[in-house]
Structure 1
């Protein structure tokens, strides 16, 4: 009887873990599908007819939970407003919002999260995490990638923040020269390969 109870418990545990992993994977897959649909739909795509003709599609690295990390969250009070050079040779301004510290591939990493400045009302909850890594110019866009975060739902109960590099995406400038995309600052450069999120076909 004890053996039967133990087997039943193990089966329940395995099922529970599998369900949790499936839920997380489905959330990532849903995000990726929405991104593909965004570029494919004529009503939402940022590409014009000429650009769509040479567009090679949105592709991704295989989803890998290793790149869904929990980072220490350090708010920056009265952060500096930083001028970001853009792909169009202009300047956009972002305010330092927080630092995140985490370990990736056994290496300590630090990135800065930013908030647009001035804050636009429709994006009041929006935070911006631009970064570069060792894949840029090889399997990912040379100009770096972005991750979007929300002020209201990014912090966990223990005061940390979950960063999912599986949701990293390319700026519009990866596919079009008509846009004005901020270039990730040097302090947001990771010295590892982030094989997660959107890839890039030249």
Structure 2
């Protein structure tokens, strides 16, 4: 069975994110290859050497790739996994406030983080935290702050949903 356009989009996006993670995990910026490679724009090389691969931009790329792009596709397929992810955010957040009527009994953290990333309403306190802000036209607002030391746990659990999706595709012969 041939992968659908949605499958292809999710797989390609995930592979790019996983590649960045592996470069970071393998200390690529300290490799001999990186030290000797010539960049067309040397400022990029110098800046990467300073900020590293694991930076604010990478977090946004990862969240966009693994949360914004596939949200509806994966959330419909794995609702329990997304509910567990919501619970994870509940546990790791340092602060959350919402004036959304829908959130009167329980904040939907994943929906608000997704919307925040999709609309580039993300603020960092370097070395401390990231705050996601979601706001609608009615003036309802939700802010969720997660300490940076806990962001990796959130990303890891989100990655597991992707890994499950890819395994399910393999088992259905879509991915070989």
Q: TM-score, normalising length from structure 2?
A: 0.25
Higher Cα radius of gyration:
1
**Which structure: greater strand fraction?**
1
**Which structure: greater helix fraction?**
2
Q: TM-score, normalising length from structure 1?
A: 0.23
